[in-house]
């Protein structure tokens, strides 16, 4: 509890110290501008924001659903093992997430200006180089998963090796989907992203119910990897 309160105090102090500087330097006229309620703008914001929220919630569900079903059908030991494998396998997603940060506004700008040829050429180059970066990283995770698990987590988590290998292979689909998510968002298609992620969450739940009682953490890894390739395939189709 003490640690949690320390974090809370830290953020509050940080906010109080820098908020005046933020308004003064970035938005000096913030408190003098007159506000107005734009109904059309609000509707546009909600029509874009709600599907994005659903997509984000769905992506979180893909991660936590396995843990929930493992707790229901197996035991907390396998939950601990799985929660070693999953975050380790998702290390490479930081590459595509950093790309997606600037890709959404960049895609939106090119699309609105009608530069479709430039957008297509850039997408093809991005896919090529992302594969070149992701495949060696995934290969390292698969080849040295036993070493990584024992080195960073200890021999008691050696059961995470096989799930890690399966999830590392499946993470290729997730890495590529994150880029597709940014493209679709920049093209003004958040509802498509929400549809894809919602379908993947249902698919993941069905696979978990079937596979976890039979295969435990390995079944959970197969279910999640299949869901990752599903969202990648669907996003490429759209």
What confidence tens digit (pLDDT) does each residue in 93-147 have?
888 888 888 888 888 888 888 888 888 888 889 889 888 888 998 999 999 999 9
CB 129 within 8 A of CB 183: no
Answer whether 0.85 is exceeded by the pTM: no
pLDDT of the residue at 211 = 94
Within 8 A by CB and 6+ apart from 12, the residues are none
Give me the phi and psi of 36, to 5 degrees please. -145, 155
């Amino acid at each position: 509890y003490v640690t949690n309160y320390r974090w809370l105090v830290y953020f509050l102090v940080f906010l109080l110290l820098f908020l005046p500087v933020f308004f003064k330097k970035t938005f000096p006229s913030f408190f003098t501008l007159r506000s107005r309620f734009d109904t059309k703008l609000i509707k546009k914001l909600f029509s874009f924001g709600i599907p994005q929220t659903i997509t984000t919630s769905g992506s979180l569900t893909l991660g936590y659903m396995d843990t929930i079903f493992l707790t229901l059908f197996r035991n907390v030991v396998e939950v601990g093992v799985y929660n070693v494998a999953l975050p380790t396998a998702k290390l490479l997603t930081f590459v595509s997430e950093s790309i997606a940060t600037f890709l959404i506004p960049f895609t939106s700008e090119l699309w609105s200006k009608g530069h479709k040829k430039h957008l297509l050429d850039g997408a093809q180059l991005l896919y090529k180089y992302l594969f070149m970066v992701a495949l060696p990283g995934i290969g390292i995770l698969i080849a040295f998963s036993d070493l990584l698990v024992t080195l960073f987590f200890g021999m008691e988590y050696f059961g995470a090796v096989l799930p890690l290998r399966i999830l590392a292979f499946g993470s290729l689909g997730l890495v590529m989907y994150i880029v597709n998510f940014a493209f679709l968002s920049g093209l003004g298609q958040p509802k498509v992203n929400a549809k894809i992620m919602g379908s993947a969450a249902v698919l993941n739940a069905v696979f978990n119910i079937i596979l976890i009682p039979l295969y435990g953490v390995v079944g959970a890894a197969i279910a999640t990897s299949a869901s990752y390739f599903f969202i990648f395939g669907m996003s490429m189709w759209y």
